[in-house]
Structure 1
Amino acid sequence: MPEDHSQHTGAFDDVAMASHPKGPNLPEREWRTAAGNRLPILAVVVLVAVLMAGVILFGVFMFRSPATAATLRDIFLVVLGVQSMIIGLLLIAVLVSLVYLVLKLYDLVHLVQTELRPIMQQADDTVRTVRSRAVFISDSAVKPVIEVMACVAAVKSIIRSFTRLER
């Protein structure tokens, strides 16, 4: 029995179709996008080729004139020495900055321990005092007033209930 190959049912067929654009048969927008994606790759390849050619030409030039090569070698050694000195100075500056930051952190911790901790303790004592005074005032002034008002309300409701019964 012959198989019907007119329908694409496998994922491989879809990938194969998507990976082979038909160039001019693509809509203009997709064709330009595909060409635009190749441009950075082409630029990198050209740049690498130019750099390799430059290195090769420089090597040939240095091989043919050893005096110039020796002079350039000396210049590069001086440049590398200066660069090493600059990096060393920058590392010293970073180290000094780090020591300064550690000292400032120590001062901050000392400030918290010596000055802020007593302030926080005083604030805690103040809150405890206010709480105890609020409880005292509640027990000695507010509770009796509430109890008296509750008794008055009870007496009023009893009197109302008796006066309503008489009517």
Structure 2
Amino acid sequence: MGTSDKAARLASAPVDADLFRSVLGNFASGVTIVTAMDDGEPVGLTAQSFTSLSLDPPLVMFCPKLTSTSWPRIEHAGHFAANILAEGQESLGMSFAKSGGDKFADVGWSAGLSGAPLLDGVLAYIDCQIEAVHPGGDHQIVIGRVLHLAADAGRKPLVYFRSAFESLRPRA
């Protein structure tokens, strides 16, 4: 079997969704709450699919689900802040992961340069202007141009690993 035949066979082979989720669950990621101000009202969602994209220009990206009710409001705002959660902020991550309700009840925040809510007590924030949005299967790929950012270097991140929140352990 030639290389192109093998590649065609592999490209057409179905990938089981449960296996895909299980295998990719072994890749640990940070946890962010993406926020924006839409028509004077704060809106947000939890996203673990967040990463840096480019240093020059400074770009980041995150990937909201197509079924998200918060994403269209963030897109309408034209800006967002990625609030990187710290250890101990599991309940905050869970509350923004749910659809509906007042996600900002009892959550302290201040407006960032873009106007997006910067949540109190997070490990870091990255305040952005939406640069581009691309289709990505059952998600959107959102690219943001970084306007301002800051971090609290004395804390550790909240990590998502194998479908659960985890903490980093100290080095031995």
TM-score range, shorter chain: under 0.3
More strand by share: 2
More helix by share: 1
**What is the TM-score with the length of structure 2 in the denominator?**
0.17
Higher RCO (C-alpha 8 Å, min separation 6): 2
- When normalised by structure 1's length, the TM-score is 0.18
